[in-house]
Amino acid sequence: MKAPFPWFGGKRRVAPLIWSAFGDVDNYVEPFAGSLAVLLARPTQHKARAETVNDADQFLANFWRAIAADPEAVARWADWPVNEADLFARHLWLVNTGRERLSNMDIDPEWFDAKVAGWWVWGICAWIGSGWCSGTGPHTQDTASQLPHLGNAGRGVNRQLPHLGDAGRGVNRKLPHLGDAGRGVPDDWQPASVPTSATPGRVSTFIDIADRLRNVRVCCGNWDRVVTTGALNYGATVGVLLDPPYLGDVRTSDLYATDDHHIATQVREWAIANGDNPRHRIALCGYEPEHIDHMPDTWRMHTYSASKSYGSAAGGGVNDANRALERIWFSPHCLTADGQLDMFGGAA
């Protein structure tokens, strides 16, 4: 299973490696949820007793909440052809009205907005490069006329040509579920205030993800709120995947709607401070120059290259130089390839 949208820095291709290092942990925590590539790739035979994910990006957290609670409604709002005029208009609406609607996420742990979620995922699939919902573009909304104009006040958006390559066809689709007839949406099911039709394959995809997230706790806030002693107290083993935004001096800006260019340093310090705990199995992701001079010898380092991305680093993609710098550091109590505890550690 994979996320129905592209995400810069996703770890889907190395997810099996991470799970082999974690094993079937009692408690899994992902402070930087992103596309949930690793969670969605967890082996089905795992018991998944407790799983918690978090992201400071309210658009992202709202999407995961909404798709878990009402996947059909999200699918209907997301079901729309790629249209440049709509991409610009919906982007402006999301950054202004949509962001205001998401303010309820901080006070109600069960609140979600299916329309914001559907338009957000539709747009991120049609968008190319960085800046989606970052609110840093030049086009802002005139509150009197409700028309966009150029200015430096309010929440601005970039005007971007839709993605015209193979991945630019909108929300990812798959073959509709063909087994057990009860998995489909009834013909007469029409929730209030949402579009009344959606591609069956898209609905099926979202329902499958909703099933997977049924017992996953989705938090929205600072990363360190889900790695406190209390949050990690459950279970004999705890797997913590740390995949913070790369440091600002090694990648482009505006990759994420909530973008802290220096948070990777704080995350590394927490990982090192907690890595010797025998209950903890920690994976720290990042570029080699960010962490190589700071990691203890007891941590294992794995080297890999990221998939090619559209564009260059200046346009929001991953350039060839940075692709080869991807690293994952595993704490001393992670498992080795044969499923045993790594007794000696050391860089690979």
pLDDT digits (tens, 9 = 90+) for 46-61: 987 899 999 999 999 9
Task: Give the domain ranges of the chain.
Answer: 12-56+221-330, 63-212
The pLDDT value recorded for residue 50 is 93
Query: Is the model more confident about 194 or about 69?
Result: 69
pLDDT at 334 over 80: yes
Provide the token pair at 67: 């798709």
Question: For the chain, percent helix, then strand, then coil, each to nearest 5?
Answer: 35, 15, 55
The pLDDT value recorded for residue 169 is 39
Q: How large is the average pLDDT for residues 101-119?
A: 88
pLDDT tens-digit readout, 118-163: 999 999 888 877 788 887 777 776 554 444 444 444 455 555 545 5
Query: Is the model more confident about 250 or about 278?
Result: 278
Query: Is the model more confident about 262 or about 250?
Result: 262
The pLDDT value recorded for residue 251 is 45
User: How do strand 300-303 and strand 326-330 relate by DSSP bridges?
Assistant: antiparallel
Reduce the DSSP state of residue 204 to 3 states and report it.
helix
Provide the token pair at 190: 């029409």
Quick one: pLDDT band at residue 274, thresholds 50, 70, 90? very high
Q: How large is the average pLDDT for residues 160-182?
A: 41
Q: In terms of pTM, does the model score above 0.85?
A: no
Quick one: residue 190, left, alpha or beta (phi over 0 = left, psi -120 to 50 = alpha)? Answer: beta
Reduce the DSSP state of residue 26 to 3 states and report it.
coil
CATH architecture under which domain 12-56+221-330 falls: 3-Layer(aba) Sandwich (3.40)
Burial class (CB in 10 A: 0-12, 13-18, 19+), 311: middle
Provide the token pair at 37: 């590539």
The answer to whether 229 and 272 have CB atoms below 8 angstroms apart is no
Q: How large is the average pLDDT for residues 285-314?
A: 81
Provide the token pair at 341: 């505890």
Q: What is the largest CA-CA distance in the chain?
A: 67
First to last CA, the chain: 29
Q: How large is the average pLDDT for residues 250-267?
A: 64
The answer to whether 57 and 257 have CB atoms below 8 angstroms apart is yes
Q: How far is CA 233 from the centre of its chain?
A: 24
Q: What is the mean pLDDT of the chain?
A: 78
